[in-house]
Structure 1
Amino acid sequence: MKEYKGNSTVEFNLEKMKKLAAQDALIRFVVHDLTTRLGDEKNAYEVVFNSEVIGDTVMEDIYRTL
């Protein structure tokens, strides 16, 4: 699965997403739920990155600092 890169300067990085999940309860919950449903943790992180980080300037800023 390719992540949307549009006008954003952030790119998917599994380790950064794991750090973000450790800090954010919603991200952690959604990743856990999707991992259970999809059976693929990396794919779950990518889906959450695309839906919760890309396009949200606050989340993008936090993600850049990780």
Structure 2
Amino acid sequence: GFLTDWGETDYFVGACKGVMLTVEPDLKLVDISHGVTPFDIQEGANTLLYAAREFPEVMKKLALK
């Protein structure tokens, strides 16, 4: 799952996805949200927590501050 606080009004999300797919062309990428309030770590953590419950256990999870 891909979760950011970047919004969707510029190229950042698309550019990041492009890099990820360049590194791993077979990547299965699912957008969780890009609308987390900027720098709101608690909101991001809660969003990831609730979304991750719906993903398979084998899903890799990475959270960066």
TM-score by length of 2: 0.32
Which has more helix, going by share of residues?
1
Which has more strand, going by share of residues?
2
Between structure 1 and structure 2, the one with the greater Rg is: 2
TM-score by length of 1: 0.31
